[in-house]
Chains A and B, each alone.
Chain A
């Protein structure tokens, strides 16, 4: 039943997004603009600053992710459909996981465009080790979205939710973003060191487990009132 509810919520979000493409376009446009602005500012005479690519990639993911989180729950607020989800006898953590997976899929789709763009503009060898890259992006995105989905759902009825979401989200997810930047930095370093990469990746997995456990544990009581 849990998996069935997750699938229903995910499929519903996916169907709505395919019809409107509203969040996909907004997120992608914002992320690409962000990377282009940094590229124009930092790439001088065709030379990118060393280690810049990793930072720019994760800034773009974090900023565009915040935008996507806000819009996803704005959609649930407009006709108070989040209330309808909470009124159903379905396990509330399943509703959370369904929303989380929708955000993760959306961000991973945006990263499919972002990564080649960053690699091209900042001359970074991001595709030298594609499996490692995929693992870093997946774990980092899950960690960021796990906290973001919880906060966005909590703030859905707050008047100043657009201001409060980044204020709450960034301090908590700083460890994920730092680990993502350092792991990506290690990936594109001139001398590839799998040991260093493993440490950062292990940290990202730890953050994911902690954030997911806390979110699943607190979602129901936080949403009840």
Chain B
């Protein structure tokens, strides 16, 4: 197992994530409403739904960037209010925006985030991440000179640099060509084999199909269906979209 897929077991480590009757309101607008599901280690859970279904809000809640208006999110035995920073050290997020500084080189970006996550050898961590992204030869180029696909690969390694237990991915296939999408698929398979809890939000099942073990379907902020068998995902998706 490569260093970048070996998961770190820190004090806030956990076996599963459980979302229990979670709602989040912004003023009078209900972004997500009464969502309940559970995600276990070694499983890729898809959050599927059209644009505006509440997928990104739900990911922000799981990432501890937002607090639920009601309901509880548990990371094993922990909650965000009890473990704060220790819990954030076990979460990796690849957002719709890439969280990279375009003026800095890929290596500088990765070293900066390795430092923020308290990794002891930032240089080695950045080099391993560049290797995993297939961009070791472009590590000293500014991110602003990269294509969207290359940025996405650096952003994914930035999200995984601290070997998180919970990996949250928001539309990770955006802007990737076929080869890059296949590479991302292989990376996610590696994370699954390394026992990460992986939650992938997307509106495009064509790209994510084959990766998902389970799926939760959202529409207008509500959970409309949950599927536990990969072979049922496509049929349920068709039913819901129609």
Question: Which residues of A does B touch, CB under 8 Å?
Answer: 1, 4-5, 8, 12, 15-16, 19-20, 75, 78-81, 83-91, 224-225
Contacts and interface: CB of A to CB of B under 8 A. Distances in A.
A8 B116 contact: yes
A5 B65 CA distance: 19
B85 A83 contact: no
Given A86-B65, A88-B88, A91-B85, A81 B101 contact: yes
A79 B63 contact: no
Given A79-B97, A83-B65, A20 B103 contact: yes
Interface of B: 63-67, 85-86, 88-89, 91, 93, 95, 97-104, 108, 112-113, 115-118, 142, 158
Which 4 pairs between the two chains have the least Cβ-Cβ distance?
A84-B99, A80-B97, A89-B89, A88-B116
Given A87-B65, A224-B67, A12 B97 contact: no
A214 to B, nearest CB: 21
Contacts of B65: 83, 86-87, 224
Interface of A is mostly: helix
B117 A89 contact: yes
B101 A79 contact: yes
Contact of A80 (B88, B99, B115, B118): B99
A45 to B, nearest CB: 48
B104 A80 contact: no
Contacts of B95: 80, 83
Contacts of A84: 93, 99, 113, 158
25 contacts: A4-B115, A8-B115, A12-B101, A12-B108, A12-B112, A15-B103, A15-B104, A16-B101, A16-B104, A19-B103, A20-B103, A75-B101, A79-B102, A80-B95, A81-B99, A83-B95, A83-B97, A84-B158, A85-B116, A86-B65, A87-B63, A87-B65, A87-B93, A88-B116, A90-B118
